[in-house]
Each structure stands twice: as structure tokens, then as C-alpha cells.
Chains A and B, each alone.
Chain A
Amino acid sequence: MHIADGVLSTQVAAVTSGVTAAVLAYSVKGIKEEEIPRTSLLAGFFFAVSLISIPVGPSTIHPLFAGLLGVILGRRAPLALFVGLLLQAVLFQHGGLTTLGANTLMLSIPALLSHSIYHGMAGRQIILRGALVGGFSVTATVLILIVLLVSTDPAFTEGTFSVINILVVGHLPLVAIEALVTGAALKLIAKAKPEILGAQEAEASANRAR
């Protein structure tokens, strides 16, 4: 769910924007030309896929795939996510500009964590690792979203049909969907073009050996 302008309090918007700026600097620093093709393609994938909205009860959910992006792009994931979100905000008013930082953070943190989790489990079945990371990333995003909303206004939690409850229930299907798709996608990539994951897997094991 992309937060629109005006939903978050000024403090929350300001803090998240600041943190995102730092995360972006980290993400962009030292980027190599070899990394740009996959970063660009995945940014495009993310852009396209988040435009799909699935109505769930009174709200809608959007596919996120922060887990998939995190596993493949690692450090560059926040950059891809940010560019995708920026374009969505500017071109389609999908998500606000003051909340761009919050939206980016909501996806970047799970993405970076997914990368660590996935590559930290090197050697195990790819589908399992992918599914774990796919489900985890959606859960993490919803958790961060809840924190941001509650920090803005505790009223979001009021009532059985509170916004928070609706969001949580609404995203449960997405946890399952993204777990399945991420697992399947990573298995496919590992078969068709293992270099994308391979180089990182080799790097990860080398790092662990040090």
C-alpha cells in the first residue's frame, strides 16, 4: 500500500525522508556499471507490478516483491524501489511525495533484510529460501506501515474494523502470494541465469569465510 500525501504526520514524514536519504546514499554509493542493467530492469518490474491493485474487502493491496528485489539487487534494491516509487508518485499520483521517504523505507528495509536472510541460508533449497523471504518481506512491510500509521495517529487502531486490522487481514493473501511467486521466480532464475544469484552467492560465501 502506497501512503498518500497527508496521511502521515509531519514529524513521521520528515524523519522517514531523512532516513531514506541516508539509505539511498548507501544504496547508490559505489554502484558499478555491471549492476545497472539488473537494477533498471527490476525497477521497471517493480513499477509495473505495483500498479496492479487487488481489491480485498474495503481496501486494496498491491504486489510489492521487495523480497525478490532484495535478494537479486542486495545493496542496490533501495535505489530501484525509490525510482519506481518516485515515478509512480509523479506520473500517477500513486503515493505522495512527502510520503516518498516512508514508502521507500517500508520496502527497502525488508528488501535489504531479505538479501541477508536469503544469502545467509546458502546451501538450502532455493524455493524454500525464496518463499521465506517473499512472505517475510510482505510481513515486514506491513509491520513498518503499522508503526508509521500509529506514530501518526493512534486512532488508526480503534474499532474492530480499524484501519490497522483491515490492512493486516488484507495483506495476508499477499504474504502467501509473494512467498509462492518469490520462491518460484528465484528457482527459475537459479536455473536459467544463475550468475545473477551465483555471483552474490559466491561473494556471500567468500565474505563468510573471511
Chain B
Amino acid sequence: MLKHFKTATMMLVVAMFILPATPVLAHLMLIETLEEGKVQVVYDDGTVARRAEVVVYNEQDEEISRGQVDTEGVFEYSPVEAAVIVADDGLGHRAQYVVEEDQHQAALPRGPTIALVLSGFGLIALVFHRRVREKGS
């Protein structure tokens, strides 16, 4: 039974290296700056958001601009007073961008993170499986 467990964990490890190759992984929506006063709303797999509504707020949290992105996901706004830009695609994805601050902290590398998490789960399973066996014998 322990042999099967090792096989299962091995398969899990292999699967997680295959997973990143899957063409579509979960969507995260981002706002990217093209130039001052011009942003593009995209998903983390590179596709553009074609139906997102963008709202620009000033430092006092007042709305100074609102509109839809164009077919390329681009939204132009007046940079005067713009402090925070929020995009919402109406389908549960929401992104926020604080002007000035570089909001592009590198997102965690997908493949390795998934691999790590799955290994973690596998390890926990293995550890407790062994403990239970020892208790039994």
C-alpha cells in the first residue's frame, strides 16, 4: 500500500510539471501602463480585456474619469490628479493600479509555485500515512 502511495505521489509530481504546459491557466486581470495617461487592461495570459470598465480616482478617492476600454483593451485618461485606476470586467475580475507606485511586483512564477504547493500536499499526505501505519503496527 505504501508502494502505491509513492507511485501516486510520483504521478502527482509529474503532473505538476505537465500542468504549466496547459494552454490556459486561471485568469488574473492586470492594468499595464503604455504611456502616461494610457493604460491597457489585460489578463495574465496575455489576452486583452475587451469589455472592462475603467474608473480613475484622485487622491481624495473621488471619481475623475470613467469609461470603457477599446477593442484593444486600451483606456486613455487625463493623468492630472489621477491616483488610482480600477478596472472591472463585470465577470468577477477586478484590477487596481496605483499611479506612480510600480504595481508590477513580479507575480510568482507559476510552474515552480504550483510544483511546490503540490509537493507540500503530497508530503503531508505521505507523513501522515506513515504515522498511521506505524500506529497500526
Contacts and interface: CB of A to CB of B under 8 A. Distances in A.
A1 B92 contact: yes
A47 B121 contact: yes
Contacts of A176: none
B114 A34 contact: no
B135 A33 contact: yes
Interface stretch (A49-57, A115-123, A131-139, A201-209): A49-57
Describe B's contact surface by its main secondary structure: helix
A58 B128 CA distance: 43
Interface stretch (A9-17, A18-26, A88-96): A88-96
A37 B118 contact: no
Interface in B12-33: 12, 15-16, 19, 22, 24-29
A88 B110 CA distance: 11
Contact of A51 (B4, B114, B126): B114
Contacts of B50: 58
B56 to A, nearest CB: 16
A93 B108 CA distance: 10
The 5 closest A-B pairs by CB, nearest first: A44-B121, A37-B125, A36-B128, A40-B124, A40-B125
